[in-house]
Structure 1
Amino acid sequence: MQKVALIRFDDGTAKIVVRDRSQPDGISDYFAKFLYAKRINTLEDMSGKLAEVLTETFKKHREAFPESIRRNGTERILDALRSEPSYDPENIEPLINAAFGPLSADSPVRKTLEKALDRAGLSEESFTVSAAAVPRPRKRQIRTNEGVQIIFDQDASGHTIKRDPLAGGGERITITTSGVTFDDAEPDDSRRRN
Structure 2
Amino acid sequence: MPTPIESVLSQSQRDSLEILDFIFHIIELDAGKEEKVEFLDEVSLQPKQKKFFLARLQDILEGTQYVFKPDAVHLKEKCQQLVAERHNLNVISRQIATDFADRHRNQMAEGVFVVAVVRFLASANEWKKLILLVKMDKSASFSYSRKVEGGRKIAVMTDNPNALSETKSSIQKSAVIDADSYFAWDVLAYDRKTKPRLTDYFKGFLGVTERQQDAELTRATHFAVKKWARGLDKDAIPPGEDAAGYIGRAQNYLKDHDTFETDEFINAVVKDEDPARKQAMSGQLREALAAAGVAGQQFTPRPGSLRPAECKQHYLTSEGVTITFEGDKEAVGLKTETLPDGRERITIETRKLTLKN
Which residue of structure 2 lines up, in the alignment, with residue 104 of structure 1? 275
In 2, distance between residues paired with 1:54 and 1:71?
9
Which residue of structure 1 lines up, in the alignment, with residue 186 of structure 2? 15
- Structure 1 window deviating more from structure 2 (120-129 vs 70-79): it is 70-79
Runs of 5+ unmatched residues, structure 1: 155-167, 178-194
Are 1:82 and 2:252 matched, yes or no?
no
Query: Under a length normalisation based on structure 2, what TM-score does the superposition of the two structures give?
Result: 0.37
Which of 297, 303, 318 is equivalent to 1:125? 297
Task: Answer whether contact 2:190 2:196 (CA < 8 A) is retained.
Answer: no
Which residue of structure 1 lines up, in the alignment, with residue 285 of structure 2? 113
The one-letter code sitting in structure 2 at the alignment partner of 1:26 is R
Query: SS of 2:197's equivalent?
Result: coil
Which of 205, 212, 231 is equivalent to 1:60? 231
How many residues are aligned here?
A: 158
Distance 1:101 1:14, change over 3 A: closer
Task: Answer whether contact 1:61 1:109 (CA < 8 A) is retained.
Answer: no
Are 1:35 and 2:206 matched, yes or no?
yes
Task: Answer whether contact 1:141 1:149 (CA < 8 A) is retained.
Answer: no
Query: Under a length normalisation based on structure 1, what TM-score does the superposition of the two structures give?
Result: 0.62
Can you list the C-alpha shifts for 1:129-167, whole angstroms capped at 9, x where unaligned?
A: 1121234335642233xx33445887xxxxxxxxxxxxx
Runs of 4+ in 1 over 6 A off after TM superposition: 174-177
Which residue of structure 2 lines up, in the alignment, with residue 50 of structure 1? 221
Distance 1:5 1:77, change over 3 A: closer
Task: Answer whether contact 1:7 1:16 (CA < 8 A) is retained.
Answer: yes
Bigger CA radius of gyration: 2
Measured on the aligned residues, the alpha-carbon RMSD in Å equals 3.7
How high is the sequence identity, in percent, across the aligned residues?
19
Q: In proportion to residue count, which structure has more strand?
A: 2
In 2, distance between residues paired with 1:14 and 1:119?
14
Runs of 5+ unmatched residues, structure 2: 1-170, 326-344, 349-353
